[in-house]
Amino acid sequence: MLIQFKNVFAKRDGHFVLHDLNLSLSERRIGVIGPNGSGKSSLIRLINGLLLPHAGQVLVDGRDTRHDVMVIRRQVGFVFQNPDNQIVFPVVHEDIEFGLKHREPDPQQRRLRTRAALEQLSISHLFERVTHSLSGGERQLVALAAVLATDPAMLVFDEPTTQLDLRVRNQFERILQGLPQSAIVVSHDLELMQAMDRVLVVQDGRVAFDGAPLAAISWYREHCA
């Protein structure tokens, strides 16, 4: 999947958070790092229209987020930093099935897709669990399962390992490596970034460095630490 930013400026809360972005992203695994408040989350929110550009264009396989946002959101799955922003129903399978309601009219097929997504992440035992009883790591994986059930072409993650203990964080890294979808990952987890194909360093609303993981991490440590 090709993501293009063409002369993109973006605002949040009345302030410019991104300035004149010009990027073409097509690698299978892309990492985004940078200081807090640098514009990382705004950059990835532009990809599926959670944030629209103040000026310029964001194109997803040639489709403009301003005009084709619903089509794009079917292609680009977004996994939020806080899974509570995604999980709304009291039982795990009900939550995932609800997200499929407008895509799959057959309730039995929704149930099968839900089971398949949970099995893909090795958490099928959570199918009947009450969502408020889940641990932070379990909630994060359930939120990911809900996105995977919709069969997106691309996944976008906003700080996916922040709330995970070491065991679940390592589990997530293995899962990420095995997913067939392309993925863009914002994270402060520099070890996770080493497994990317390309890493962007965002600083003060601009891409300050763009390159191979080790070079990007080294630049980040030298200029942003």
Task: Note the pLDDT tens digit of each residue in 140-188.
Answer: 999 999 999 999 999 999 999 988 889 989 999 999 999 999 999 999 9
How far apart (Å, rounded) are the C-alpha atoms in residues 215 and 184? 18
Q: For the chain, which residues make up each domain, given as ranges?
A: 3-224
Task: Note the pLDDT tens digit of each residue in 5-64.
Answer: 999 999 998 899 999 999 999 999 999 999 999 999 999 999 999 999 999 999 999 999
How far apart (Å, rounded) are the C-alpha atoms in residues 76 and 1? 10
The pLDDT value recorded for residue 188 is 95
The pLDDT value recorded for residue 162 is 86
- State how beta strands 198-203 and 29-33 pair: parallel
How far apart (Å, rounded) are the C-alpha atoms in residues 86 and 80? 7
Give the chain's largest Cα–Cα span: 54
Reading the block at residue 192, the tokens are 């996770």
Checking if the pLDDT of 225 tops 90, the result is no
| Interior angle at CA 71, CA 106 and CA 109, nearest 5 | 15
CATH topology of domain 3-224: Rossmann fold (3.40.50)
DSSP designation for 159? S
% the chain with pLDDT above 70: 100
